[in-house]
Amino acid sequence: MIELSDHFLIEKIRAGDFGFFEALVNRYEGKVYRLALRMLRNQQDAEDALQETFLQVHRGLKDYEGRSSFSTWLFRVATNVCLMKIRHRGTEPANLLPLEDYLPRHQEGAHPSIQDWTDRPEEALLSKESKEKMLEALGKLPADFRAVFVLRDMEGLSNAEAGEALGISVAAVKSRLHRARLTLRGMLSDYFEKREPRRAPG
């Protein structure tokens, strides 16, 4: 079966065909929900954001000019809905640590001690507890840094697409992404270094 392009669906929706709007929603609802869950970290908020996003999409379609791809435009709407929700919560994550805490302090000739936890077996790195730790770490990033990391490294947008979705320059995307990655590496390393690698049963 030939898949109808987003462009085709959009033309039909503008002509008043609601069925094609439902098809468009079906195509992207999973992605939007996943983004919202990663940004907002609870199902209720993610569901609210999902509904709000597609409501705005329906209202905004007449203004969508096709300068960026539809999915980039959709990510822009979804990300803004999530960021607004985070701001309205009033409480950013309780333990918002300054990013500097996770950037290694390099002095000339001296290195902080560092453990290589990358060769641990996958089951250890991907255990239920590790995955929870990963999400917790993500939630500790300030919202703007979290958004860049989720869009670039989890959703696979390019620097340019992420820039369009967030309304920032490519340089800003790269800079925030780098700091987000270093911070997450620091938090995961703290966690993995404290856990003893499981010894094989002897």
- Give contact residues for another protein (rule: CB under 8 A): 18, 21-22, 25, 29-30, 33-34, 37, 43, 47, 50-51, 54-55, 58, 103-104, 106, 108, 111-112, 114-118, 125-126, 131, 134, 138, 149, 153-154, 156, 174, 177-178, 181-182, 184-185, 188-189
CB of 74 to another protein, least distance (A): 14
9 or 138, CB closer to another protein?
138
33 or 92, CB closer to another protein?
33
CB of 107 to another protein, least distance (A): 9
CB of 26 to another protein, least distance (A): 8
Residues recorded for the chain: 202
The maximal CA–CA distance of the chain, rounded, in angstroms, is 70
CB of 114 to another protein, least distance (A): 5
Specify the amino acid at residue 187. M
Give the other-Cβ count within 10 Å of 88's Cβ: 7
**Rounded (10°) CA dihedral 125, 129, 134, 135:** 150
CB of 34 to another protein, least distance (A): 5
DSSP string, 47-80: HHHHHHHHHHHHHHGGG--SSS-HHHHHHHHHHH
25 or 172, CB closer to another protein?
25
Give the other-Cβ count within 10 Å of 42's Cβ: 11
88 or 106, CB closer to another protein?
106
Look at residues 19, 21, 199, 85 and name the one whose alpha carbon lies nearest to residue 6.
Answer: 21
Residue 159 in contact with residue 152, Cβ under 8 Å?
yes
86 or 148, CB closer to another protein?
148
